[in-house]
Amino acid sequence: MYEYIIGKVTFISPYYIVVETNGIGYQVSVGNPYRYSGKTDQEVKIYLHQVVREDAHLLYGFTDLDEKQLFLKLISVSGIGPKSGLAIMASDDHGGLIHAIESEDAAYLTKFPGVGKKTAQQMILDLKGKLGELETSDAAVEAMAKSTQTQSNNQPLSEALEALGALGYSEKEIKRITPKLEELGAQPTDEYLRNALKFMMKR
């Protein structure tokens, strides 16, 4: 199973892009191929989900892991296949999608291509309460950008946060304690991790 591909975008069509790496061009279906218009012949990193059928091996691509996880949640719903899942995500309004599911707004969900009332209700039934970690907002994005900048200057902290994820803590839980860790100042990775685990226990 492929996790991601790093290569150059050499071709863009309405349905897919071609990413070339090591002399091989991989056809990758993405929600909005034209988001890569300004990146032709530039190196990109695209997270992948592979679907194997009797007649084809298909690759679906995403800009980051959150986008990929949202796609995987969508295609777990009865009535939503990979093509439908990609079409739903093409609008890039992932926050609106998640909010609609959490608020049981079936009318909003039926605005997506291929989603009727029955499928919308199934999405709500299957996914409500399971997408909180992926929910974003302008404020959250801004906070994440600042946090990422801080972490990029603090390798031990970044490694500790990554270790928390590996232990099974959710992104929401990690975000909750990150400011507390940043307040501790410079520490070795193991110290950050020890303190992080203490903070996790204080709920």
Of 119 and 130, which is predicted with more confidence?
Answer: 119
Tell me the pLDDT tens digit for each residue of 77-127.
999 999 889 988 887 678 889 989 999 999 989 888 888 999 999 999 999
pLDDT bracket for residue 146 (50, 70, 90): very low
- Structural domain spans, the chain: 4-62, 65-134, 138-201
What is the pLDDT of the chain when averaged over all its residues? 84
Angle, vertex CA 159, rays to CA 154 and CA 165, nearest 5: 130
Residues 6+ apart with CB under 8 A from 177: 196, 199, 200
Fold of 4-62: OB fold (Dihydrolipoamide Acetyltransferase, E2P) (2.40.50)
Tell me the pLDDT tens digit for each residue of 11-47.
998 889 999 999 999 999 998 888 888 778 789 999 9
pTM above 0.75, yes or no: no
**Is the CATH code 1.10.150.20 the one for domain 65-134?**
yes
In whole angstroms, what is the distance from residue 178 CA to residue 201 CA? 14
Residue 137 has pLDDT above 60, yes or no: no
Q: Is 158 helix (H, G, I), strand (E, B) or coil?
A: helix
Residue 174 has pLDDT above 90, yes or no: no
Token pair recorded at residue 203: 């709920």
Q: Is 27 helix (H, G, I), strand (E, B) or coil?
A: strand
